[in-house]
Amino acid sequence: MNIITPTADGSNTLYNETIGEHYHSKHGALQESKHVFIEAGLKFSSEGKSEISILEVGFGTGLNFILSFDYCSQNDIHLDYTSIEAFPLTKNVINQTGYAEYVSPQIWADFISSYDESLKSQQTLSTFCELEIRHTTLSEFYTKKRFDLIYYDAFSVQHQPEMWSDEIIAHTCSFLKPGGTFVTYAITGKLKRAIKANDLRIEKLPGAPGKREMLRAVKGI
Ligand SMILES: C[S@@+](CC[C@H](N)C(=O)[O-])C[C@H]1O[C@@H](n2cnc3c(N)ncnc32)[C@H](O)[C@@H]1O
């Protein structure tokens, strides 16, 4: 069961009772998504580019996706977005998040009208955006595609340690292009070692409110 809960910046998140964790930071869902994934990830990785491919681990409510779609539309960047989600939410729950107010009405309409189909196959949402949500677990996910950017947005290591094992991090990094970027809200010594072992160069960046640091890493060319 997921319960809609307000966070400190006024945006909502969901509380997952089974896992015992929120989908986003309690200090601000919108703030966190913008800080970690849009500012440190998408802006950095798309600089000077007219197209970008993103792989997200944990689609959840789609907040990272709609903010990415909005950013790419405003900056004339073609977005090819693939997300992995083991337990997709219903469209009804997504409609109750209040996230429609953070993007243009057109972007929200394109997203909501394509959501169910994007769980079955890749959908073209606009001239700027393709979306596919793979209904599977990360360990079972496979594609021949390689991505410019990975958003690693799994539940925390305290609640889902299997999502932060050396093996699953190696599996995830294998989908990055040479020179591609990996971003996540978390940073631990174990995670840094696992990332470095996959030929990525690590940067520690200031974290979103409530977290001192976050991790960005770039794969060797
Ligand atoms: C922190 S939430 C993601 C939040 C999301 N990015 C958003 O903006 O709403 C983690 C997500 O990972 C999903 N998940 C849990 N276990 C998974 C697994 N083994 N493989 C893929 N996704 C998983 C959960 O269902 C949840 O949607």
Task: Quick: pLDDT tens for 138-152.
Answer: 999 999 999 999 999
Q: Averaged over 207-220, what is the pLDDT?
A: 96
Task: Report the predicted TM-score, pTM, of the whole model to 2 decimal places.
Answer: 0.98
Cα→Cα distances 4→53, 62, 159, Å? 30, 14, 19
Q: Averaged over 22-33, what is the pLDDT?
A: 97
Task: List the chain domain ranges.
Answer: 28-219
Nearest atom in ligand 1 to the alpha carbon of residue 14 is 9
Pocket lining for ligand 1, CB < 6 angstroms = 23, 58, 60-61, 63-64, 84-87, 137-138, 153-155
Percent of the chain at pLDDT above 90? 98
Name the closest-CA residue to atom 24, ligand 1.
Answer: 58
Task: Quick: pLDDT tens for 149-206.
Answer: 999 999 999 999 999 999 999 999 999 999 999 999 999 999 999 999 999 999 999 9
Name the closest-CA residue to atom 18, ligand 1.
Answer: 137
Residue 221: the pLDDT is 87
Nearest atom in ligand 1 to the alpha carbon of residue 13 is 9
- Look at the domain 28-219 and name its fold: Rossmann fold (3.40.50)
Nearest atom in ligand 1 to the alpha carbon of residue 138 is 20
